[in-house]
Every structure is written in structure tokens, then in C-alpha cells.
Homo-oligomer: A and B are copies of this chain.
Amino acid sequence: MSLIFSRQCEYALQAVTYLALKPEGEMTSIKELAKKLGIPYHFLGKILQDLSYKGLLASQKGPTGGFRLAMPAKDITLFHVVEAVDGVGFTKNCVLGFPECSGQNPCAVHEKWAGLRDGIYSMLVSKNIAQVAREMRKPEYV
């Protein structure tokens, strides 16, 4: 079981932050990304394709081709990626799965969850991916 984000979304987040480390405009192949990040090659291809379709990445075919961010890294947050891949359900839904989540008929943990949800949101938007990428202390990001 994946936690809050789907596997696809996790891979997307890893890949996009990896791209943020590259000089602006430089193309990076699926091969390099898949190898460095340990993500299944073809699956990653489909994910990046999807991110291109949604306007977050730009792609180019052929040798020397690959993917790059469609806009400056400082203008992208992790939230943009989550929004594009998983949607914004986690900002609206009841953590216990009840059909409605509002102050009207709150479940027992509604208040507590509201705070945590805000925390998650702020974790995703408080830094742009250029900063995020630099703060990664992961061997994958070398």
C-alpha cells in the first residue's frame, strides 16, 4: 500500500525534482531518470508522457531528445505535480472515508485532520522544486 500519494505520483515527484537539478532547457532521457531513480522504465515513460500532456514537462523525440521542465523550476511546486497526477482529493476528503467532510457534520477527527491536511499542503507548496531538489540528501540525486 502506498501512502497518501499513488505510486505514479511518487515517481512523478521524484522525476520532476530530478529534472529541476538540470540546467534550464537541458533534455534528460527516460533512461537516465529510470536508472538513477530506480523506477520501472516503461512505466516512467507513461508518467512523463502524461505530465507533458498536462503541460508540466516538454518532450522531444530522437537522439538528444528527452524531457525537460516546461517552465522555470522556481515556478513549480510539489503541489503542482500532485495536482496533475492524483488530483486534490486529499484536501477535501474525510480521512475516515465518510462521504462528506465539512464543519457541518464533522467526524471525530475532523479538526485534528484539518490541521494535518494544512500541514501536508504547506509541505507541498512552501518551497519550489529548485529548492526541494537542492535539499535532497539522496544518493539518487548525483
Contact = CB atoms under 8 A, between A and B. Distances in A.
Contacts of A97: 2, 5, 7, 10-11, 13-14
Determine chain A's interface SS by DSSP, over half rule: loop
Interface in A90-138: 90, 93, 95-99, 105-109, 112-113, 115-116, 119-120, 123, 127, 131-138
Contact of A107 (B38, B107, B136): B136
Interface residues of A, number: 47
A123 B107 CA distance: 12
Interface of A: 1-7, 10-11, 13-14, 17, 38, 78, 86-87, 89-90, 93, 95-99, 105-109, 112-113, 115-116, 119-120, 123, 127, 131-140
